[in-house]
Chain A
Amino acid sequence: MASYTAPLRDMRFVMNEFLDPARLRALPGCEEMTPDLVDPILEEAGKLCSEVLFPLNRSGDEEGCHIENGVVRTPKGFPEAYRMYCDGGWSALAADPEYGGQGLPRSVAMVFEEMMCSANLAFGMYPGLTHGAVAAISKHGTPEQKATYLPKMVSGEWTGTMCLTEPQCGTDLGLIRTRAVPADDGAYRITGNKIFISAGEHDLASNIIHLVLAKLPDAPKGTRGISLFLVPKFLPKADGSPGSRNGVLCTALEHKMGIKASATCAMAFDDAVGWMVGEPHRGLAAMFTMMNEARLGVGIQGLGLAEVSYQNAVAYAKDRLQGRGIDGTKHPDKPADPIIVHPDVRRMLLTMRAQTEGCRALAMWTALEQDIAHRHPDPETRQAADDFVQLITPVVKAYLTDAGWDGTATGMQVLGGHGYIRDWGMEQYVRDARIAQIYEGTNGIQALDLVGRKMGAHAGRYLRRFFHPVLAYIEAKSEDPAMAEEFILPLSKAFGRLQSATAEVARRGMGDPFEAGAVATDYLRLFGLTALAYCWARMAEVALDKQATDDTGFYKAKLTTARFFMQRILPQSSALSSGIMAGGKTLKEFEEAAF
């Protein structure tokens, strides 16, 4: 039987031991974020996820969503679960207290997000999209818009969407055709078709607030001519309650590989009433202000799925008896040894574990920097933290979702044929994980963002926020006998490769952008590996310090996982570096007709 238990021990390790909890508590509004306060919240969150959401994961996948006359029905149990989720205040966890939120820092909320993604990714999509819409309205909405919509969206009573994609445009939003015509009442009338709209229509909430990208009649061509509009499913009455039905309709549901319980809608806007959010023609910029947050959130989806797949793979590997240990029998009392004794099964499990724990550390480090970027009183400190978030966001999105795909596929592999059939649920994780590499900017786009935008910004200032602390750490620890050989040496090798690759990609990219694009994916992966190596070195340092008090074997396991990462995963950086240095010549030369 599949199961999920929130990895609270490791989450606390990352929050309280890997990261410096004093940094979070030094922020205004976060003074109370001690383990005494946070731990019970996370325990409750874990319970909600394993007891309420996880049991609906498989049934939701099998049943999927259904549409009839524009009405969308979510799978059985989803409406009740959503009510429990809202009633428990989980929707408002990280939201602004001014609109009824609990104001918890992002770095705490992200832990909960990971649990939701592990337990039931499709369910998590509904509140996830709402959070994005709340962020956009908070930042760019008028006071009236905020007062009308935010409290209800924060509580979860109403949900939100982001309507960007159209049949003819996905990545290139400059091609948008949806029109917004000013009306006499100060509002606009929106007409056009949108596709791939997550949570576009459903039966969980009494109203759905769509944020829609559209063009004004006088809009300039391209991405500089897109504006953002708020279009509610029901127009709010004077008292704020949902009133008459607006001209927005779900015309179809997409049939997808995974996240089947998430309603992915085709939406038709027909003279729908909408209000502008932010300034004319600045819609894309407004959307992009929350893009980092959304992309980090997608990265967490990869992490969550890899985690749940790992847990179930371990359970199976300990339980399934097949053959004997290659180096001798381990369990003579049993008819065969459990497959966990086999070296290649161990390789798979440790690979999953090392990637998952490393990714968790990187993601939570990023979340902490986000909190600092939002809340720190000193503008220079805020700037430095924001620089880091800007830089690392594409890395987190792409590296973690790749790890999600690799991890869930490896988890399936551990189960062999039983992973491939539906009974154990392993194949669902694989299917669910695949979309995370695609949406919110494909991983190829993330790589281009890293080399094209982030690398060169302010002559490389974003890079400084990663390279300087990592080099300082290497220099500080290179004489430490416990660290130097096993952890600092491999880290510094990977770091050196990343430095050379960065200089080379920047240099070649200036002469020919194709060169930078040709190696962008490999470069992002090299960056991710190096970032994880840094996280692992620091985690190993903590584990070394705590060996004496290691009652549960947690730190010993951490150390061994750290060694495994350094010895068996990090060497990929050498191959990536060779590929990057070889450059894009072959990609450019190959005749189009010959493909």
Chain B
Amino acid sequence: MSDERTGASDRRKAEGPGAVKQPRGAEGAIQKVGVIGAGVMGAGIAAHCANAGVPVVLLDIVPGGAAKAVQTMLRADPAPFMHKGAARLITAGDIGTDLALLGDCDWIVEAIVEKPEPKRELYAKLEAVRKAGSIISSNTSTIPLGDLVAGASAGFAADFLITHFFNPPRYMRLLEVVQGPATRADAVASITEFCDRRLGKTVIPCKDRPGFIANRIGGMWMQSAINNAFTMGLSVEEADALMSRPIGVPKTGVFGLLDLVGIDLMPHVAASMKATLPADDAYVQGLREHALITRLIKEGRTGRKGGKGGFYTRKRDAAGVQQKLAIDLASGEDRPEKKARLESLELRDLAKLAEHPDRGGRYMRAVLLDLLSYAASLVPEIADSVADVDAAMRLGYNWKWGPFELIDKVGAAWLAAALRADGRAVPKLLEQVGTGSFYRVQDGVLQFFGTDGAFHDVPRAPGVLLLADVKRRSKPLAKNAGASIWDIGDGVACLEFHSKMNALDPDILGMIGKALGMGKKGTFRALVIHNEAENFSVGANLGLALFAANIAAWGEIEGMIEQGQKAMLGLRNAPFPVVGAPSGMALGGGCEVLLHCTAVQAHAESYIGLVEVGVGLIPGWGGCATMLRRWTDNPKAPKGPMPAVAKAFEMISTAQVAKSAFEAQEMLLLRPTDGITMNRDRLLADAKARALAMVETHNVPEAPKPMRLPGASGHAALNMAVQQQVLMGRATPHDVVVCDQLGIALTGGKKDHTDEITDEEVMKLERQSFMALLKTPGTLARVEHMLETGRPLRN
């Protein structure tokens, strides 16, 4: 098996990840990147450029620091690298000795200590080594651009801008870009193009104001949420419950977020904002020192990273039982965590919540007034449009709605009236919008309210195609509760899943059948399977399957597996090209959909895997057959029936999930010919282009040649390997049962290597093994546990 692994890396060495994965049309001006400063941000930026297949020079002030940072990143979780091979694209060096390595870099990112002096000194040295026309940017989050280029040459200032990444750089989609008066337009265009297409970022232009967009508004939100929690006597649980789901913020809320990013970061942010903002700015006015927070920092209780806890603390008591504690904001004492229970919290309507008389309602009103009026007062000071502000908050803070979308939720008129009632100023932009809203849909196009008082289309970068936009302007070709089919132009249709968590159910299978029928009739020329939910699909609807199993409706369940297999074969044998375009998780049945597509165009952040064993099952929709087929047909695999079986068994029996599209390619879950798109917003357009490119040459694939599988002796060998795992304590009793059934399906059951076996016959074995497992109490317990806790049961 180790041979295989070498084979995989050989392929990468020979071709280089960029050769396969580089998006078409991305041959921009930037071919090589330099990053100075190998701290969390600098190293992360370097890793992500390497992810894009671009050679990177990474330098650090500490000798050997950059090389060490690369090693650290290889072990980090979440991983900064999309695949291990990317690390080889990074050349590590020291600022002191290796500055010359930057000589052929087209873009140099500075991410050193947040002080203007050292930065300016560094820039002066760069002047000596950088090539003419290379672009320099700083990843500063606090220092005005004017300060950074003070005293620099005109040429340097023309090549200089600020590129503010968010942490972690691989995963956060926001990039704030600030240009100075001297910055040349084509430098901004090159960086925007590169970061958009190659790094997959959404580039938001910002004004040169402290904190730019996201941290300025996010800072106000945190400040108000903390101050008001103290003054209004809320518990941290209550504050976090209110500052999360009701306003579309991640469930950490505000105190949980502080624990996550580090409580000690607070005073630094406050100090730098105070130093750069005018004294009458609402943020500066609202600055408070809370004795409790000062004490926590002093005691080193800075949140999750310190291990000593923060607002929330996990501790083992004397009996070794884990305790969940939360801090009492009034007394400063830790006490057992308790779920927030407020009448206001039960309200779904945000305006009603903010008007509820209990402390939850009063708190929500206070924070919303601070946050939303501040945001409204900052356009156009910090950004040209409300759409840019909202996008920055969504992508930089993972909010579901930006502040202006929130204003539309509560009503601009409500907000203005509430501000007036409290004797507060109503921002000009809010006055302007009056009783209207900041967004509207006009002729199927989303528009925002501009500072000129008119509505403008929300801009999309050239070449971006969003399903959301298609849906706004058209009606589906077909639709049921689980899926819809949309016309995305040029004779291409998009099959969209939209069930809960995009779990595959009979509705979705039915819609796949419908799409196949429509395609055969010529309603469209090619089909893309894509959706814009967080996850492509988490697999089959386990709740339905478990319920059916609990009432012993075995016939119905087997029927659903057959229906699924038929749908998958239908995709594989479609007379038109079918392109799968996943983003996020594509697990179990979701993975099997991709395995049967003519081609896949995957977002780089796709997490693909056959994870059925986690719930005590095996892939039943051709996942076993296809993985056997892919390893059998892999020209680099050793000959004979066993290696392919062993590879498939190893992957499926351990429920391995690829942590990126690149890893999925290494695991053969994607083919070498499948494409990868870095920018999620460009995925649908890329998939559509791929589908169109195949239309002319597409033929119904020939039935694959039968395989030879090792049969009973192979099955016995696999079971022996599982027994080894049991002895080492790595496999549980029910793992043995599941692996036994997986072994039957992968080794061909009663056939042996002298017999030929078709993919369809393997699928029949999948079905039988699946049904056998579903009847075991161990599997039923696993499925139930997964449904109720979201975690696998190790029984």
Residues of chain A at the chain B interface (Cβ within 8 Å): 220-221, 458-461, 463-464, 467-468, 471, 499, 502-503, 506
* B787, A459: Cβ atoms closer than 8 Å: yes
* A459, B343: Cβ atoms closer than 8 Å: no
Interface centre among A221, A464, A503 (most CB of B within 10 A): A464
Residues from chain B with Cβ under 8 Å of A458 in the complex: 784, 788
- A467 to B551 Cα, complex, angstroms: 5
**Interface: B543 (CB within 8 A):** yes
- Knowing A220-B341, A221-B343, say if A460 contacts B546 (CB, 8 Å): yes
> Which of B343, B547, B788 contacts A460 (CB under 8 A)?
B547
Closest to A506 in B: B547
- A460 to B546 Cα, complex, angstroms: 7
* A467, B547: Cβ atoms closer than 8 Å: no
- Knowing A458-B788, A459-B787, A503-B551, say if A464 contacts B780 (CB, 8 Å): yes
- Size class of the contact patch on chain B: 10 to 19
Residues from chain A with Cβ under 8 Å of B548 in the complex: 503
**Interface: B556 (CB within 8 A):** yes
Residues from chain A with Cβ under 8 Å of B341 in the complex: 220
- A463 to B542 Cα, complex, angstroms: 16
- A502 to B552 Cα, complex, angstroms: 11
- A503 to B341 Cα, complex, angstroms: 35
Closest to A469 in B: B552
Having A460-B547, A503-B556, one finds 6 other A-B pairs with CB under 8 Å, namely A459-B542, A459-B543, A459-B783, A461-B550, A461-B780, A471-B552
* A468, B552: Cβ atoms closer than 8 Å: yes
* A459, B552: Cβ atoms closer than 8 Å: no
**Interface: B261 (CB within 8 A):** no
* B551, A459: Cβ atoms closer than 8 Å: no
- A506 to B552 Cα, complex, angstroms: 14
- A461 to B788 Cα, complex, angstroms: 12
* A502, B784: Cβ atoms closer than 8 Å: no
* Interface members, chain B 354-378 (any A CB < 8 Å): none
Residues from chain A with Cβ under 8 Å of B552 in the complex: 464, 467-468, 471, 499
* B551, A460: Cβ atoms closer than 8 Å: yes
Q: Chain B's nearest CB lies how many Å from the CB of A373?
A: 17
Residues from chain B with Cβ under 8 Å of A459 in the complex: 542-543, 546-547, 550, 783-784, 787-788
**Interface: B330 (CB within 8 A):** no
Contact with A along B538-574 (1 / 0, CB 8 A): 0000110011111111001000000000000000000
Q: Chain A's nearest CB lies how many Å from the CB of B713?
A: 33
* A460, B550: Cβ atoms closer than 8 Å: yes
Residues from chain A with Cβ under 8 Å of B543 in the complex: 459
- A463 to B551 Cα, complex, angstroms: 6
Residues from chain A with Cβ under 8 Å of B788 in the complex: 458-459
- A471 to B548 Cα, complex, angstroms: 13
- A595 to B551 Cα, complex, angstroms: 38
- A471 to B783 Cα, complex, angstroms: 21
Closest to B780 in A: A464
Closest to B548 in A: A503
Q: List 21 A-B contacts (CB under 8 A).
A: A220-B341, A221-B343, A459-B543, A459-B550, A459-B787, A460-B546, A460-B550, A461-B784, A463-B547, A463-B551, A464-B550, A464-B551, A467-B552, A468-B550, A499-B551, A499-B552, A499-B553, A503-B547, A503-B548, A503-B551, A503-B553
- A459 to B783 Cα, complex, angstroms: 9
Closest to B341 in A: A220
Going nearest first, the 4 A-B pairs with the smallest beta carbon separation are A460-B550, A460-B547, A464-B550, A459-B546
Interface of A is mostly: helix
Contact with A along B495-526 (1 / 0, CB 8 A): 00000000000000000000000000000000
- A491 to B758 Cα, complex, angstroms: 41
- A342 to B680 Cα, complex, angstroms: 81
- A220 to B342 Cα, complex, angstroms: 9
Q: Chain B's nearest CB lies how many Å from the CB of A413?
A: 38
Closest to A384 in B: B777
- A471 to B787 Cα, complex, angstroms: 25
Q: Chain B's nearest CB lies how many Å from the CB of A502?
A: 5
- A272 to B785 Cα, complex, angstroms: 47
Q: Chain B's nearest CB lies how many Å from the CB of A565?
A: 23
Q: Chain A's nearest CB lies how many Å from the CB of B791?
A: 15
Residues from chain B with Cβ under 8 Å of A503 in the complex: 547-548, 551, 553, 556
Residues from chain A with Cβ under 8 Å of B343 in the complex: 220-221
Residues from chain B with Cβ under 8 Å of A499 in the complex: 551-553
Residues from chain B with Cβ under 8 Å of A464 in the complex: 549-552, 780
- A459 to B543 Cα, complex, angstroms: 6
- A459 to B548 Cα, complex, angstroms: 9
Residues from chain B with Cβ under 8 Å of A460 in the complex: 546-547, 550-551
- A221 to B346 Cα, complex, angstroms: 12
- A220 to B784 Cα, complex, angstroms: 32
Closest to B785 in A: A458
Residues from chain A with Cβ under 8 Å of B542 in the complex: 459
* Interface members, chain B 767-795 (any A CB < 8 Å): 780, 783-784, 787-788
Closest to B553 in A: A499
- Knowing A221-B343, A458-B784, say if A467 contacts B556 (CB, 8 Å): no
Residues from chain B with Cβ under 8 Å of A468 in the complex: 550, 552
- A458 to B786 Cα, complex, angstroms: 11
Interface centre among B542, B550, B784 (most CB of A within 10 A): B550
- Knowing A220-B341, A221-B343, A458-B784, say if A463 contacts B553 (CB, 8 Å): no
- A460 to B548 Cα, complex, angstroms: 8
Closest to A462 in B: B550
Residues from chain A with Cβ under 8 Å of B784 in the complex: 458-459, 461
Closest to B775 in A: A468
- A437 to B556 Cα, complex, angstroms: 36
* A502, B551: Cβ atoms closer than 8 Å: yes
Closest to A468 in B: B552
- A223 to B548 Cα, complex, angstroms: 33
Residues from chain A with Cβ under 8 Å of B787 in the complex: 459
Residues from chain B with Cβ under 8 Å of A463 in the complex: 547, 550-551
Residues from chain A with Cβ under 8 Å of B556 in the complex: 503
Closest to B787 in A: A459
- A458 to B543 Cα, complex, angstroms: 9
Closest to A471 in B: B552
Q: Chain B's nearest CB lies how many Å from the CB of A423?
A: 50
Residues from chain B with Cβ under 8 Å of A471 in the complex: 552
- A459 to B781 Cα, complex, angstroms: 11
- A461 to B546 Cα, complex, angstroms: 8
- A387 to B277 Cα, complex, angstroms: 63
- A458 to B547 Cα, complex, angstroms: 9
